[in-house]
Amino acid sequence: MRSSRHTRAARSWLAAALFALALATAPSACGRADAAVDDELSVKLGMAPRDVRDRFAQSEGGTWAVRAGGGEDLVIDWTGTPTSRFEKATFEFHLGMLVAARAVTKPGAPGPLGVSVTPVSVRAREASPDGRVGVTLLSRDCPNHKEEVAKLAARATAP
């Protein structure tokens, strides 16, 4: 029979192990829960693939395709219909959380252009010569996009 001292020690060890496991399985910095929903894309960083699919262009139809990214990454591509606001979009997930969204509008899409930075994200909305607008939303904390985030953030417009 174990003594109460051994039982207490076992409980303390178990509690420490469970705490370490909880930290290890908590969402990574790539999927920040404090990210805001992007007004144009209707998604937010940290969303699960199913949530992105439910929110983005939900009334516009289009087709979805899933492909593997590098390592534990997943990429979902969307192609619009002739009446969709967007021609195409790509959503990148790391450990099941949205870390990047990229979309291309139809020519002549209204809205301000530029790059904005928050503590959580970098967002760019840039026109191409053919009149289409590229919209990019990136997690600032995701190591997969570190270089791209730095390049975009350096071009940010002052608030």
pLDDT computed for residue 14 by the predictor: 42
Measured between alpha carbons, how far is residue 158 from residues 26, 118, 122 in Å? 34, 12, 13
pLDDT computed for residue 26 by the predictor: 39
What single-letter DSSP state applies at residue 144? G
The answer to whether 88 touches 104, Cβ cutoff 8 Å, is yes
Instruction: Please give the average per-residue pLDDT across 49-62, as a whole number.
Output: 88
How confident is the model over 83-126, as pLDDT tens digits?
899 999 999 999 999 999 999 999 988 889 999 999 999 999 99
pLDDT computed for residue 104 by the predictor: 96
pTM attached to this predicted model: 0.76
What strand order describes the sheet that includes 63-68? 63-68, 73-79, 86-94, 97-105, 133-139, 121-127, 114-117
Is residue 30's pLDDT more than 90?
no
Percentage of the chain exceeding pLDDT 70 = 77
Q: For the chain, what are the domain ranges?
A: 28-154
